[in-house]
Amino acid sequence: MEPEGGAAAAGRKRLRLHLVTWNVGTASPPPDVTSLLQLNLQGLAVDLYIVGLQEVNSKIVNFLSDLAFDDPWSIFFERILSPLSYIKVSSIRMQGLLLLIFAKHAHVPFIQNIQSQFTRTGIYGYWGNKGAVSTRMSLYGHMVCFVNCHLPAHMENAEQRLDNFEHILEMQQFEGEKVPGVLDHDVLFWFGDLNFRIEDYGLHFIRESINNNRFSLLWEKDQLNMAKKKEAFLQEFREGPLQFKPSYKFDLYSNEYDTSGKKRKPAWTDRILWRVKSLLPYASEAGEVPEKQAISVSLQSYASHMSYCISDHKPVTGTFGLELKLLVSIPLVTLHPVGDWSTEQDAFISYSTLSEFQHSAWDWIGLYKVTFRHANDYVVYAWVQDNEISSGEDAKQVYISTEGLPTEGGQFLLGYYSHTMQSIVGLSQHFQIQPSRTLAEKDLACDGEALQCGAAE
């Protein structure tokens, strides 16, 4: 499949990333997330969705059930995004922390080396109610990392929040010598319920500033803004202006800030920050102009969403433009169906690989519906090695037995799954499978009976 995304120039690509962070307070998914995911914006298609949730229901019964099956939130987002040609490329959960990444079909073969990590910081590091989950990947050859955090609560714990984040950065290590740590990635997104509060100002002043949309009056006393001025490790992180209402703390099912006896002060607890590793070479003494940066990030929107009321937090989203030099532009595996497929005969697949591709005896090719949700959501699969029927210099062929083909036919595509890379490294174009003649004749007979019944009436 040809990769999507706007071409910025020859050998470059523009991608649109949409990040969501939401402390859902153990609630079930809402009826609709159209505005949250920007599904109603015409002509502004998102290439990757990154969804970070905190406080997903992790009571023991729910958690054990979610270990055996996908959790309700994952299923919810899969159900919404799969008909729009997105698949879930990564998912990691640690108790109430959940990180999901969805990508358009066209980008999937260029998302490689996916690894995930988690770090517990609750109860002296033994409990996962607080901490971080992260996923890193190679995106068109650039290393990108997403870290979803839930840091300690309460006004007085600002230092503990910073200590916990430093601990997370130290503890999360990935396989591979070139990019072992979180800060070694070309681009890092840090987001979640970071729990930083607004110091010094009283409740009345904070609420009046919010009601009058004078958010800038509060920025100076925001604990994260204050920490960025002092802590060297935070100064490379960037954040958009907080030009939206603080996302915490609300009465449930309302847009009213806390009216309980505690009357907690509103705060921007839910944040999205990013860091770009310095890739821009210095100009030489001769005054040579350096090359254009290999990867850059631009913020397009940063907002809280007041219409979602299932939690005492409002979700916060950040939409980013990612412009990058294409370090990888050809899929590792190219594959396609051989001839016309029918459910009444064995089917054949032809595929070819790049010379650098590392085969495994555990590689397989899956047959997917065009609305498939993730790599394991196949109709049937064939082991590449066991089902091989021919091998040439340019291409190999494998077969899928007719018993595994869907009798109803329809629109499908093929995906090559690499066991070594733990991801789909090649996708075919969509193609048609003809239904079985028996099923087609049965459908015609049913249609005929319906017409006869209609005539008789």
CA distance 135 to 144: 9
Q: How many CA atoms within 13 Å lie on the side-chain side of 55?
A: 21
Per-residue pLDDT, 333 = 98
Per-residue pLDDT, 149 = 97
CA distance 374 to 365: 14
Per-residue pLDDT, 449 = 53
Give this prediction's pTM: 0.91
Cα separation values, 156 from 79, 236, 250, Å: 41, 25, 20
CB-based burial label for 434 (10 Å; 0-12, 13-18, 19+): middle
- Rounded to 5°, the CA angle 412-418-421 comes to 130
- Rounded to 5°, the CA angle 80-422-332 comes to 95
Per-residue pLDDT, 9 = 57
Per-residue pLDDT, 177 = 82
Closest alpha carbon to 248 in 256, 237, 238, 240: 256
Interstrand relation of 423-427 and 380-383 (parallel, antiparallel or unpaired): unpaired
| Per-residue pLDDT of the chain in tens (457 residues, 90 and over written 9) | 545 555 555 699 999 999 999 999 999 999 999 999 999 887 789 999 999 999 999 765 454 444 545 799 999 999 999 999 999 999 999 999 999 999 999 999 999 999 999 999 866 554 557 999 999 999 999 999 999 999 999 999 999 999 999 999 999 999 988 899 999 999 999 999 999 999 999 999 999 999 999 999 999 999 999 999 999 999 999 999 999 999 999 999 999 999 999 999 999 999 999 999 964 443 334 444 445 789 999 999 999 999 999 999 999 999 999 999 999 999 999 999 999 999 999 999 999 999 999 999 999 999 999 999 999 999 999 999 999 999 998 999 999 999 999 999 999 999 999 999 999 999 999 999 999 776 555 655 555 555 454 555 5
Closest alpha carbon to 115 in 142, 141, 140, 144: 144
- The one-letter amino acid at 76: F
Per-residue pLDDT, 10 = 65
CB-based burial label for 237 (10 Å; 0-12, 13-18, 19+): middle
Per-residue pLDDT, 170 = 94
Cα separation values, 220 from 31, 182, 319, 324, Å: 37, 28, 25, 34
CA distance 187 to 278: 9
Per-residue pLDDT, 176 = 85
| Contact call for residues 174 and 184 (beta carbons, < 8 A) | no
Contacts of 427 (CB under 8 A, 6+ apart): 1, 105, 106, 108, 109, 331, 335, 413, 414, 415, 416
